[in-house]
Structure 1
Amino acid sequence: MHDPAELYVLTEDADGVPEGLPLVAGLTGFADAGSAVSQLNEFVHETLDGTLIASFDADELLDYRARRPVFTFDQDHISEVTPPRLSLHLMRDDLGQSFLFLSGFEPDFQWQRFTEALLGVARRFAVSSTTWVHAIPMPVPHTRPLQVTVSGNRADLIESLSVWRPVTQAPANVLHLFEHRLHEAADPVAGFVILVPHYLADTEFPDAAVTALSSISSATGLIFPTDRLREQGREFLLKVEEQVAGNHELSRLVGTLEERHDTYMEGNPLPSPLTDQDGQVPTADDLAAELEKFLATRRLDDDA
């Protein structure tokens, strides 16, 4: 294996980073239901003060044909090409507390080497804990608070916040590998999986970002100014409710999801909050079709 440290370049500001800060991570590119991670990254960089600490080599890690850079055409010439970025920043929360934030694209290549590079970064800055988030689509109702599944070795977080604890296999995120290595080393780590209503998975669902930030706060004590996101979430759900209220079939489908969710949360020994005693998941084809109208309307409103 080539030297993992060659995958990234530290900036001059890296020397001034204090040891013992928490590391927070969210990488896009896989199962980002509700655009939870995308919104998290945008929120942190646009809302909080930060300093670039390290940049990772996209030419080594990225499949450009799968995630092509965006270019700007200005009348008769290319004025700008914006490549995807994967970077580490020193950030400050709403109270001025410092933390390290890893954001950007999930690598397509060299996962083992990239993980070794992250482990090296964690050792260099003596991070106190690692917290990362991602989101997956699940048959749960939008009328209930978003829930999370917690992995890692933070028993306090798992006991207090993890509502669904399956034994299953699923496609991995590169941060699953990083978490696994941290767990083996007994370094504090928590991964939060946000369970997003499957019929809203392709939208930019503000509550998914709020849940991501709340989860990070629970793990780290960091404070984020989420009032704007929460207001956007209320407006978003009002529009969804308008669509559901006007259609009996949609109301029935959402009601079924609510009943199964509530039964599970009350402690009924179902195998998961997603199925009935026969293991059947209710179809949401009709719900998704109707909501397409709402989503198209929302996109038009956003463009106006």
Structure 2
Amino acid sequence: MCEESAMPKTILIAAFEGWNDASQAATNVVRHLVSRYESQEVRHIDNEGFYDYQVARPMICSVQGRKRIIWPQTTFYDIAVSPMLHLLAQIAPEPNYRWEEYCRQTLRVAEDYDVSDVITLGSMFDECPHTRPLPLDISKSGCECESDREYNGPVGIPNILDAFAAEAGFPTTSIWVSVPHYYANTECMQGTLELLRALSLIIEYPLIEGDLTRKAMQWRSDADGLVSDMHAGDYLARLEHDYDLDARAKRIASNGMPACEELLREAESLLRNGV
């Protein structure tokens, strides 16, 4: 076996706190991986010039009786998933300024570690039911997902980094999960689990789920209680109906155009019955 083929493969994964991280579903993927594998901090990006401290505020904490200021910063972890696969995991608050320079610095780190691929993670609030699999959107270099083709509007740093990385010649993948907007004030462990499983498929390696499955079940149970307390059963039923109808439409469309007539008849029947 030649020396080159024996070198471990390194993939950059990036997740950013803030607007791109609904219910912390994306950044918790990085935190989970750091806690489950042999990991070490390897690089940082200097925070000066990238953050508005009235938005991304510094934190103060006590360490061994002495107060310490923790500034918002970008951290890179080397995560040894296997002897032949490492993840260079980037986690940071979304920067407020100089996004182009920030992305250039990120890609310089990627080049230093001979990264082969760049994967960005994100989560967004949406009208989706917690009782169904959370919607995932996955886009690869030169292959847009349906939501990419339909979306027009503001984007966050994961989208910009993805574009810069593709322009620099890196194969890129963007993975986003939608989480219920009505359950916004808690960490969405189901979203984290969905992202982790999608990441496993993209990198073609089964990542350790650990206690995420249990935490996701607890999240769904807590969401059931919230809906009950809010007397929002009718609203949840509408979301489930819309989700199921959309899922069926996609299945029928994938089987060819003639099958769309069946969907049209079903939709007309639902409208006539006032559903």
User: What range describes the TM-score normalised by the shorter chain of this pair?
Assistant: 0.7 to 0.9
Separation in 1 of the partners of 2:111 and 2:223? 46
Partner deviation per Cα, 1:137-158 (whole Å, 9 max, x = no partner): 1101110001211223175xx6
Corresponding residue of 1:62: 51
3-state SS in 1 of match to 2:10: coil
Q: Which runs of 5+ in 1 are unaligned?
A: 1-17, 271-275, 278-304
Corresponding residue of 2:69: 81
C-alpha distance 221-95 of structure 1, shift in aligned 2 (>3 A): farther
Whether contact under 8 Å (1:147, 1:163) holds in the other structure is no
Separation in 2 of the partners of 1:25 and 1:246? 36
Whether contact under 8 Å (1:26, 1:41) holds in the other structure is yes
Whether contact under 8 Å (1:148, 1:164) holds in the other structure is no
- Map 1:148-227; keep pairs closer than 5 Å: 148-153=136-141, 155=143, 164=147, 166-227=149-210
One-letter amino acid of the counterpart of residue 58, structure 2? P
Corresponding residue of 1:101: 89
Separation in 2 of the partners of 1:20 and 1:232? 31
Separation in 2 of the partners of 1:95 and 1:244? 45
One-letter amino acid of the counterpart of residue 116, structure 2? S
Runs of 4+ in 1 over 4 A off after TM superposition: 162-166
Q: Which runs of 5+ in 2 are unaligned?
A: 1-6, 254-259, 261-266, 269-275
One-letter amino acid of the counterpart of residue 72, structure 1? C
C-alpha distance 80-131 of structure 1, shift in aligned 2 (>3 A): same
One-letter amino acid of the counterpart of residue 70, structure 1? M
Shift of 1:209: 0.9
Partner deviation per Cα, 1:212-258 (whole Å, 9 max, x = no partner): 211211211243221301101112211222343566x4111111000
3-state SS in 1 of match to 2:211: helix
3-state SS in 1 of match to 2:249: coil
3-state SS in 2 of match to 1:208: helix
Aligned Cα root-mean-square deviation (Å)? 2.9
1:140 to 2:128 alignment: yes
One-letter amino acid of the counterpart of residue 183, structure 2? L
One-letter amino acid of the counterpart of residue 47, structure 1? R
Whether contact under 8 Å (1:21, 1:100) holds in the other structure is yes
Whether contact under 8 Å (1:137, 1:195) holds in the other structure is yes
Corresponding residue of 1:13: none
3-state SS in 2 of match to 1:267: helix
Shift of 1:171: 2.0
Corresponding residue of 2:256: none
Separation in 1 of the partners of 2:153 and 2:82? 35
Separation in 2 of the partners of 1:136 and 1:164? 13
Separation in 2 of the partners of 1:178 and 1:231? 33
Whether contact under 8 Å (2:125, 2:179) holds in the other structure is yes
Corresponding residue of 1:293: none
C-alpha distance 39-264 of structure 1, shift in aligned 2 (>3 A): same
Partner deviation per Cα, 1:144-201 (whole Å, 9 max, x = no partner): 001211223175xx6xxx5745522232212211211233344310111111111123
Whether contact under 8 Å (1:93, 1:223) holds in the other structure is no
3-state SS in 1 of match to 2:43: strand
1:233 to 2:222 alignment: no
1:48 to 2:37 alignment: yes
Separation in 1 of the partners of 2:91 and 2:17? 8
Separation in 1 of the partners of 2:146 and 2:245? 13
3-state SS in 1 of match to 2:91: strand
